[in-house]
Amino acid sequence: MQYECTMTRIAVLGPGGVGGFLAAALARAGGDVTVVGREPTVERIGADGIHLTSVLLGDFTARPAATAELGDVVDVLLVTTKATGLEAALPRIRSEPGLVVPLLNGLDHMQRLRQRFETVAAGTIRIEADRTEPGVIEQTSPAVRVELASDDPRMRPALDQQNGQSELTRHHRKEGSAEAGPDDGKVKVGDHSPVRPG
């Protein structure tokens, strides 16, 4: 049996700096995205969306679905809570996602997530992003990179495919370089094919 991650339905548990950035970027790219968080946060996102100010993607407001509890099945659950808030956040997920990807600091959470969910891949993200208030995210790093791994050989083909598509980098024009510059609005994704921010 091979795992395949098409990421058609995505949930983000913890729409803070990292989770808010990912939810906004994926929703703007056309993903079916739901954020899961505390009631005041999801009420604000439900009413106003997520406003992202990003060095990579520009300024925009995305409107993912928002809920305090997830009962629907999703293909991928991105866990982006603070490590200290993980235990309190887990009861908000009432379904079994196809794949759980934790993007938290440290490693202690892996055992807990594998006790709770069937299919969990290890994940890391390199990003500088802050939630300045609920639903308002500022991303300042010149690149964002997500890496996934698993010791389950059945998951490796799907994870390798995702790893090849998981880097966003703003390329600046240099003397004699043909790279995209900050004025042309291009963002390079994974395989270095340009996409225009929406």
Mean pLDDT of the region 24-37: 94
**Range with the poorest average pLDDT among 10-14, 58-62, 141-145, 176-180:** 176-180
Q: Which residues pair with 193 in a beta bridge?
A: 189
d(CA 84, CA 93): 17
Greatest distance between any 2 Cα atoms in the chain = 54
The more confidently predicted of residues 152 and 198 is: 152
Which residue(s) pair with 84 in the sheet? Answer: none
Mean pLDDT, range 106-120, rounded to an integer: 88
pLDDT, residue 160, reads 62
Q: For residue 169, give the nearest of 151, 193, 147, 152 by alpha carbon.
A: 193
Query: What residues contact 166, with CB distance under 8 A and at least 6 apart?
Result: 145, 146, 147, 148, 190
Sign of the dihedral defined by the CA atoms of residues 130, 106, 169, 189, in that order: negative
Q: Is 147 within 8 Å of 190 (Cβ atoms)?
A: no
* DSSP 8-state secondary structure symbol assigned to residue 64: -
Q: Tell me what the pLDDT averaged over the chain comes to.
A: 79
Contacts of 147 (CB under 8 A, 6+ apart): 123, 124, 125, 163, 166
Residue 9 Cα distances to 34, 56, 70, 99, 189, angstroms = 8, 24, 12, 11, 20
pLDDT band for 150, please (50, 70, 90 cuts).
confident
- Report domain 9-168's class: alpha beta
- Mean pLDDT calculated for residue range 75-83: 94
Q: What is the pLDDT of residue 152?
A: 76
Q: For residues 2 and 154, is the Cβ–Cβ distance under 8 A?
A: yes
Give dist(CA 1, CA 132) in Å, integer.
43
Q: Which residues are CB-neighbours of 132 under 8 A, at least 6 positions away? A: 138
